[in-house]
Amino acid sequence: MPALLKNRDETISLLEDIARILELKGESVFKVRAYTNGARTLETFTGDFEELFTQQSLSDLPGMGDALTDKITTFVTTGSLPYFDELKRSVPEGLFDLFELQGLGPKKIKALWEQLNITTIDALETAAKDGSIAALKGFGS
C-alpha cells in the first residue's frame, strides 16, 4: 500500500465537510448521518490510524460501509477525493466560513442561502443590520 498522504484529523474534517454540504443540498438524512457517524467513528478510534489502512481493516470499524470505506481510502492514500471536490463546487465557497459562526448550523445556513442568497459573512452582517434575517422563520432579531 502506498504511503499515506492524509492523517486522521484531515480525514475527519473531510467527512464533516461532506456531511455539511450534503445537508445544505437537502440530501437524505441517512446519507448525512453516514458521513457524520464515520467522522465520529474515526474521532473515537484509539488504534493506530496508519495500521488501520495497511491492514485494510477500515471496514471493520462500526458504521463503515463499502462506499464510505472506499472514499476514505481514496482520500487518505491519494490526498484528494473527487467526490468531495465535485460537492464543494456545487455550493458557494463562502458558505464554509458561515459554519465557523456560533449558533449557525447547516439548516440555518441553508435557509440564509436559499431565502436571502447569503453566502458570506459580510452579506450576513448586512442582512442582520437591515433586518432581513429577523423576518425568516426560525430566526429572530
d(CA 128, CA 141): 8
pLDDT tens-digit series, residues 33-85 = 999 999 999 999 998 888 888 888 899 999 899 999 999 999 998 999 999 99
- Are residues 121 and 98 in contact, defined by beta-carbon separation less than 8 angstroms? yes
pTM listed for this prediction: 0.85
- Say yes or no to pLDDT of 2 above 70: no
Distance of alpha carbon 108 from its chain centroid, rounded? Answer: 15
